Homo-oligomer: A and B are copies of this chain.
Amino acid sequence: MEVKVLKGILDANDRIAAENRRLLDASRTFSLNVMASPGAGKTSLILSTIERLRERLGVGVIEGDISSTVDADAVAAKGIPVVQINTGGSCHLDANMIATALSGLPLDDIRLLMVENVGNLVCPAEFGIGEDRKVLVSSVPEGDDKPYKYPLMFTEVDAVLINKIDLLPYVKFDMRAFTVAVRSMNARASIIPLSCTTGQGLEDWTGWVLQEMAGPRS
């Protein structure tokens, strides 16, 4: 019974996600669903990406949080169109929330839309929102064993960023063990080490985004 309810919710979500995707395709807006643990650096990544790409193309952001507008305020301060979603307790964004948010954005001016999901490695993996690519921001202080504990998330994503590599000298994190763990469940995801604090690796990241935007829609 509980399973049936969940399947009904996921089916309804998929239908609305497909509508979101049609809307985004119509305005030629490429979208990223950015997921991570709390504090792994989603907002820092989004702010760094804005800095590096805003001169080349129109950028927009949807900020998802259970509560507060801390992150949306930081994006708005850069003069970038942003909509805040407060889920009011829900542990993930769903397609319906995104549909509402899209109606508040100037999509014709936005080539790259970054959606920051709720900080959580579990529930967001289950709910597509109509995105072109799913991106996971992992971070060095979280440890190299995370893929084994959150397998659906690591299986679903198109790119795994390893953020905070500037902290590698100070914590136990085996880059090779982490890569082996990711590869054991995801053969195709790009793995990109970087630091939003020092800027190291950010060229690789923006290069990946531009390449995916130029390629065929999946």
Q: Does the CB pair B119–A121 fall under 8 Å?
A: yes
Q: Does the CB pair A167–B141 fall under 8 Å?
A: yes
Q: Given the complex, which residues of B lie within 8 Å of A68, measured CB to CB?
A: 145, 148-149
- Cβ of A180 within 8 Å of any chain B Cβ, yes or no, is no
Selected contact of A171 from candidates B118, B145, B152, B167, CB within 8 Å:
B167
Q: Does the CB pair A150–B66 fall under 8 Å?
A: yes
- Cβ of A151 within 8 Å of any chain B Cβ, yes or no, is yes
Distance in angstroms from A3 CB to nearest chain B CB is 11
- Cβ of A2 within 8 Å of any chain B Cβ, yes or no, is yes
User: Residue-by-residue, is A68-79 near B (CB-CB < 8 Å gives 1, otherwise 0)?
Assistant: 101000000000
* Copies of this chain assembled into the complex: 2
Q: Which 5 A-B pairs have the closest CB atoms?
A: A39-B142, A91-B122, A141-B141, A68-B148, A37-B38
- Cβ of A134 within 8 Å of any chain B Cβ, yes or no, is no
Q: Does the CB pair A38–B141 fall under 8 Å?
A: no
- Alpha-carbon distance between A70 and B151 when the two chains are bound, in angstroms: 13
User: Residue-by-residue, is A141-173 near B (CB-CB < 8 Å gives 1, otherwise 0)?
Assistant: 111011011111000000000001011001100
Residue of B nearest to A173 (CB): B39
- Supposing A39-B143, A122-B123 touch, asked if A151 and B91 sit within 8 A by C-beta, the answer is no
Count of chain A residues near B, Cβ 8 A: 37
- Supposing A91-B91, A142-B39, A170-B167 touch, asked if A151 and B121 sit within 8 A by C-beta, the answer is no
New contact pairs (5) apart from A39-B141, A119-B149, CB-CB < 8 Å: A38-B146, A39-B139, A39-B146, A120-B121, A167-B170
User: Residue-by-residue, is A88-125 near B (CB-CB < 8 Å gives 1, otherwise 0)?
Assistant: 01010000000000000000000000000011111100
Q: Does the CB pair A149–B91 fall under 8 Å?
A: no
Q: Given the complex, which residues of B lie within 8 Å of A27, measured CB to CB?
A: none
Q: Given the complex, which residues of B lie within 8 Å of A150, measured CB to CB?
A: 38, 66-67, 119
Q: Given the complex, which residues of B lie within 8 Å of A148, measured CB to CB?
A: 67-68, 70
- Supposing A9-B2, A170-B170 touch, asked if A37 and B119 sit within 8 A by C-beta, the answer is yes
Q: Given the complex, which residues of B lie within 8 Å of A121, measured CB to CB?
A: 38, 119-120
Q: Does the CB pair B139–A70 fall under 8 Å?
A: no
